[in-house]
Structure 1
Amino acid sequence: MQGSVDAVVIGRNEGDRLIACLASMQGQVRRVVYVDSGSTDGSVAAARAAGAQVVALDMARPFTAARARNAGLEMLADDPPDFVQLLDGDCALDPDWVATAQAFLLARPDLAVVCGRRRERFPQVSVWNRLADAEWDTPPGAARACGGDALMRFAPVLQVGGYRDDLIAGEEPELCLRLARAGWGIWRLEAEMTVHDAAMTRFSQWWRRTRRAGHAFAEGAALHGAGPERHWVAETRRALLWGAVLPAVAVLGALIHPAALLVLLAWPLQALRLALRRGGDRAAWERAAFTVLGKLPEALGVLGYWWGRVQGRRAGLIEYK
């Protein structure tokens, strides 16, 4: 098949997940660049043993996944491929993915990015893993953005400047927005792409991950919300309305009259509406309940971003595992 394909994998302390990730790319890509972010579990040695080129980031500088991906892209620039597979170190590629995605991009010269179905490896372990699995199940067809796993045309990604190094979250949708502005399309295939291991077994992990999403919404809206795409403006507003304004009105109103607390009934009523709209089964109730509850950490993420802006400082990573 025409067109060379290389891969950039990023990770830190992924252990056996990284070994499985690198093994899954055997025979699918020409070369692999692994970008390590301060691992202490032997990941660098394991990557080299698997035949990957290794870039060890200088951790004296603030780390972001976007910075790691850019470092991998720079390593490939000396012998640029036609396509690059971006992958997180806690994922494994489906054996047919690269050939399927490559053929689709060759047939569609208007597209710069193609992604497929990412699945959770252990959805049965926790409700939070199941929620992540449902989150990855986006509609096939033209898309506004991809996630961390995707096959991309190498040249357009470099032409728009790659990822924004300073984003601690939401770097893929931001890159896709700039690609779209440059005239490129993004497509989601109905094809198996990767298996991911979120390893979320605690409520606190889900809470931090959801707070990070709120931060991404706020920063994305601050960067591009004034544009015609209204990038993440609606998501930011929903987070603030349901996660900050509504509880504030209830608590402050209760200082005048306890009946104001009835405003909080909007939460279970919204969960009921969402659950019934999604079919009313167990999965629908789980998604509905955590969608509504998630507006609290999302609001904290939004407010945290703006508080940092007021103080003139950038937020550090919000990690959940």
Structure 2
Amino acid sequence: MTDQFVQQAAATEPTSKTAAVVIGRNEGARLKRCILSLQDQVGQIVYVDSGSTDGSVAAARDLGADVVELDMSRPFTAARARNAGVAALPAECDLVQFVDGDCEVAPGWIDAARQFLAGHDDVAVVCGRRREQHPEVSVYNRLCDAEWDTPVGQALACGGDALMRLAPLRAVGGYRETLIAGEEPELCVRLRQAGWQIWRLDTEMTRHDAQIIRMSQWAKRGRRAGHAFAEGAALHGASPERHWVHETRRALVWGAGLPLALAVLALLLSSWALLGFAIYPLQVLRLARRIPSEQAFFTVLGKFPEALGALEFHMNRLRGRKREILEYK
């Protein structure tokens, strides 16, 4: 799938039947750019706000968006916000573009995605290329940009930005509102189980503004990912899906099990066991044979916050508790 879809896109579905749901909190100027990027591409824009204090609600209304303000006395999740946006759409809408408020939608993307769906009746979700707006600002932004660069074609899941058919989305019950992260892949598991496909096109879709400039932000993001891995595996880890089982296992082995085992061996047997920690730089070197060395280093280092998030999920699960959303901005 290439940019030919942008060039050949036709009005296969009336724009009035396509809406956009934007979610955000204190996104400032980024929210304005997001809404402006959608205005000529969809018939309706719904902005779902989660307790902003920076004037986002007024700004969205000034730009013509319908606004839904979430009741923040209930635990907030992005999944809950997206479901609230869908609930505000009129019955005549067939398609919805989901987008985070820190993203801009590329010109022509929605027409291209709509064209693809018109020719593929078994596809429920189509997404394209998400790029990082400022990868030069920090190593963490560059890591996000690399993370967005996933294979094109039929996929297992989408991210937060995607064009979806509303009928199958509603048929499977929408997003799972209790998830603090990883809600899109979990939704895609249920869609695929219902017989639908997910596709990624080699077409520019959105520009994302991560604004991750500190390691503490990056570590929180990794911790959230680990929590999502563990919760996703708990929900859909059985065969044939094995959803996020390997990701959870890698995080727990590399980020918790191995260092704990080496430390115990050093205490009980010999300090020579500490030499076993050399496996970490060796793993970086192994990964650097197929990905950039910077990315390889942070992939290995990232297993520690991921393990923390996974362990946190399992501890809370044993106690019958649910963790509230973990924000890194």
Shared fold by TM > 0.5? Answer: yes
| Other-structure match for 1:235 | 247
| Other-structure match for 1:292 | 300
Taking the TM superposition and a 5 Å limit, the aligned residue runs for 1:211-226 are: 211-226=223-238
Query: Structure 2 counterpart of 1:214, which letter?
Result: G
Cα deviation 1:166-204 (Å, max 9, x = unaligned): 000000000001000000000010000000000000000
Alpha-carbon shift at residue 2 of structure 1 (Å):
2.9
Alpha-carbon shift at residue 149 of structure 1 (Å):
0.1
Unaligned runs of 5+ in 1: 279-283
- SS for the counterpart of 1:276 is coil
| Other-structure match for 1:281 | none
| Other-structure match for 1:63 | 76
Once residues 31 and 220 of structure 2 are traced to their aligned partners in structure 1, the CA distance between those partners, rounded to angstroms, is 23
Query: Structure 2 counterpart of 1:257, which letter?
Result: S
User: Does residue 151 of the first structure (1) align with residue 163 of the second (2)?
Assistant: yes
Once residues 92 and 180 of structure 2 are traced to their aligned partners in structure 1, the CA distance between those partners, rounded to angstroms, is 27
| Other-structure match for 1:274 | 287
| Other-structure match for 1:34 | 47
Taking the TM superposition and a 5 Å limit, the aligned residue runs for 1:88-237 are: 88-237=100-249
| Other-structure match for 1:2 | 12
Once residues 78 and 39 of structure 2 are traced to their aligned partners in structure 1, the CA distance between those partners, rounded to angstroms, is 24
Once residues 117 and 150 of structure 1 are traced to their aligned partners in structure 2, the CA distance between those partners, rounded to angstroms, is 10
Once residues 35 and 206 of structure 1 are traced to their aligned partners in structure 2, the CA distance between those partners, rounded to angstroms, is 25
Query: Structure 2 counterpart of 1:195, which letter?
Result: R
Query: Structure 1 counterpart of 2:100, which letter?
Result: D
Query: Structure 1 counterpart of 2:166, which letter?
Result: F
Query: Structure 2 counterpart of 1:275, which letter?
Result: A
Query: Structure 2 counterpart of 1:38, which letter?
Result: G
Cα deviation 1:261-319 (Å, max 9, x = unaligned): 111111111110101122xxxxx011100000000000000000001011111001111
More deviation, 256-265/141-150: 256-265
| Other-structure match for 1:48 | 61
Cα deviation 1:19-52 (Å, max 9, x = unaligned): 0000000110000000000000000000000100
**Contact in 2 for aligned 1:86/1:148 (Cα 8 Å):** yes
**Contact in 2 for aligned 1:163/1:172 (Cα 8 Å):** yes
User: Does residue 318 of the first structure (1) align with residue 326 of the second (2)?
Assistant: yes
Once residues 145 and 210 of structure 1 are traced to their aligned partners in structure 2, the CA distance between those partners, rounded to angstroms, is 19
Once residues 93 and 189 of structure 2 are traced to their aligned partners in structure 1, the CA distance between those partners, rounded to angstroms, is 22
Query: Structure 2 counterpart of 1:297, which letter?
Result: P
| Other-structure match for 2:5 | none
- SS for the counterpart of 2:167 is helix
- SS for the counterpart of 1:300 is helix
Once residues 277 and 123 of structure 2 are traced to their aligned partners in structure 1, the CA distance between those partners, rounded to angstroms, is 45
Unaligned runs of 5+ in 2: 1-10
Q: Cα RMSD between the aligned structures?
A: 0.7
Alpha-carbon shift at residue 227 of structure 1 (Å):
3.5
**Contact in 2 for aligned 1:8/1:35 (Cα 8 Å):** yes
Alpha-carbon shift at residue 80 of structure 1 (Å):
3.7
Percent identity between the aligned chains? 64
TM-score, length-normalised on structure 2?
0.95
Alpha-carbon shift at residue 81 of structure 1 (Å):
1.2
Once residues 172 and 18 of structure 1 are traced to their aligned partners in structure 2, the CA distance between those partners, rounded to angstroms, is 21
| Other-structure match for 1:247 | 259
Once residues 293 and 92 of structure 2 are traced to their aligned partners in structure 1, the CA distance between those partners, rounded to angstroms, is 47
- SS for the counterpart of 1:14 is coil
Once residues 280 and 93 of structure 2 are traced to their aligned partners in structure 1, the CA distance between those partners, rounded to angstroms, is 50
Alpha-carbon shift at residue 147 of structure 1 (Å):
0.2
Query: Structure 1 counterpart of 2:320, which letter?
Result: G
More deviation, 261-270/142-151: 261-270
**Contact in 2 for aligned 1:113/1:151 (Cα 8 Å):** yes
**Contact in 2 for aligned 1:211/1:297 (Cα 8 Å):** yes
**Contact in 2 for aligned 1:246/1:263 (Cα 8 Å):** no
Paired residues in the alignment total 315
Once residues 225 and 273 of structure 2 are traced to their aligned partners in structure 1, the CA distance between those partners, rounded to angstroms, is 30
